[in-house]
Amino acid sequence: MDVGFKSDIGKRRETNQDAFMVYRPSRDCGFFAVADGLGGHQAGEVASNLAVQNMKERLASLGNDIRLDDFPRESVGKWIEEINRLIIKEGDKDPSRKGMGTTFTMGCVLQTTLLVYHIS
């Protein structure tokens, strides 16, 4: 499977608030995510990077041989909630990041199955 990403800052922003993740622990398994910082809010680029990096760390903790039957589907939803709380907490530490947020979409390819997670 070939994978590619392209992001464009657009004409209205000074920083690119997009972040992406590709994590392929094995031939039969791949995780692909994109996060887009919320426009009009502070530090969207920080929030989107926190989201994808934290998710990648959690997925890596599952090991390399991830099978559909063993994949913790419900845990991923909880991880997303925890990452959201982390983003809020980080925003509360610094006034320049107060209210930061991001969208997050992740596709999980496990053998012949695609699972999709999305928040916005």
User: Which CATH number is 76's domain given?
Assistant: 3.60.40.10
Of 4-8, 62-66, 85-89, 116-120, least confident by mean pLDDT is: 4-8
Q: Is residue 91 part of a domain?
A: yes
If one counts the domains in the chain, the total is 1
Q: Is residue 56 included in any domain, yes or no?
A: yes
Q: Is residue 41 part of a domain?
A: yes
Residue 5: inside a domain: no
Mean pLDDT, rounded, for 17-27: 93
Contacts by residues 84-90 (CB-CB < 8 Å, ≥ 24 positions apart): 84/119, 86/50, 86/54, 87/47, 87/50, 87/51, 90/46, 90/50
Average pLDDT over residues 74-98: 95
Domain, as residue range, for 90: 18-119
Residue 78 predicted with pLDDT over 80 = yes
Question: Is the pLDDT assigned to residue 87 strictly greater than 90?
Answer: yes
Residue 84 lies in a domain: yes
Higher-confidence residue of 61 and 7: namely: 61
Tell me what pLDDT residue 12 has. Answer: 76
Residue 13 placed within a domain: no
Q: Find, among 68, 49, 72, the residue nearest to 113 by Cα.
A: 68
* 115 belongs to a structural domain: yes
d(CA 114, CA 59): 16
pTM: 0.89
